[in-house]
Amino acid sequence: MIDLDTVRNHPRRVKEALRAKGLGSPDLVDTLLEVDETRRAAVTELQETQSRQNDLSQQIGTLKREGKDEAAEEIIEKTSQMKETIKRLKDEVQDAETRQEELVLKLPNIPHPSVPVGADESDNEVVETFGNPPTFDFDPAPHWELADRHNLVDLERGAKVTGSGFPFYLGKGARLQRGLLNFFLDRARERGYTEMQSPLFVNPKSAEGTGQLPDKDDLMYEVPRDDFYPIPTAEVPVTNFHRDEILSADDLPRQYCTYSPCWRREAGSYGSEVRGLNRLHQFDKVELVRIVHPDESYRALDELLEDAESALDALDLPYRRLLMCTGDMGFTQAKVYDLEVWSAAQERWLEVSSVSNFEAFQARRMQIRYRPEPEAKPELVHTLNGSGLAFPRIVAALLENNQQPDGSIELPEVLHSYTGFARIEAEA
Partner RNA sequence: GGAGAGGUGGCCGAGUGGUCGAAGGCGCUCCCCUGCUAAGGGAGUAAACGGUGAUGAGCCGUUUCGGGGGUUCGAAUCCCCCCCUCUCCGCCA
Which positions are annotated as active-site residues?
Answer: 264, 279, 351, 354, 393
Q: How far apart are CA 98 and CA 270, in angstroms?
A: 40
Q: How far apart are CA 233 and CA 41, in angstroms?
A: 41
By beta-carbon proximity to RNA, the closer residue of 40 and 157 is: 40
Q: In the bound complex, what is the minimum distance in angstroms from residue 51's beta carbon to RNA?
A: 4
By beta-carbon proximity to RNA, the closer residue of 39 and 264 is: 39
Q: In the bound complex, what is the minimum distance in angstroms from residue 91's beta carbon to RNA?
A: 9
Binding site for RNA (CB under 7 A): 5, 9, 40, 43-44, 46-48, 50-51, 53-54, 56-58, 60-62, 64-65, 76, 79-80, 82-83, 94, 246, 374-375, 377-378
By beta-carbon proximity to RNA, the closer residue of 5 and 139 is: 5
Q: In the bound complex, what is the minimum distance in angstroms from residue 6's beta carbon to RNA?
A: 9
Torsion of CA 188, 192, 196, 201, to 10 degrees: -70
By beta-carbon proximity to RNA, the closer residue of 228 and 256 is: 228
Kindly give the pairing relationship between strand 382-390 and strand 379-380.
unpaired
Q: Are 158 and 363 in contact (CB under 8 A)?
A: no
Helices 69-105 & 27-65 angle (0-180, nearest 10): 160
Kindly give the pairing relationship between strand 379-380 and strand 153-154.
unpaired
Q: How far apart are CA 185 and CA 194, in angstroms?
A: 10
Q: Are 294 and 379 in contact (CB under 8 A)?
A: yes
Q: In the bound complex, what is the minimum distance in angstroms from residue 348's beta carbon to RNA?
A: 42
By beta-carbon proximity to RNA, the closer residue of 7 and 115 is: 7
By beta-carbon proximity to RNA, the closer residue of 36 and 328 is: 36
Q: How far apart are CA 266 and CA 117, in angstroms?
A: 26
By beta-carbon proximity to RNA, the closer residue of 35 and 115 is: 35
**Residue 165 falls in which region: left (phi positive, over 0), alpha (psi -120 to 50) or beta:** left
Q: How far apart are CA 215 and CA 102, in angstroms?
A: 11
Q: In the bound complex, what is the minimum distance in angstroms from residue 62's beta carbon to RNA?
A: 7
By beta-carbon proximity to RNA, the closer residue of 88 and 423 is: 88
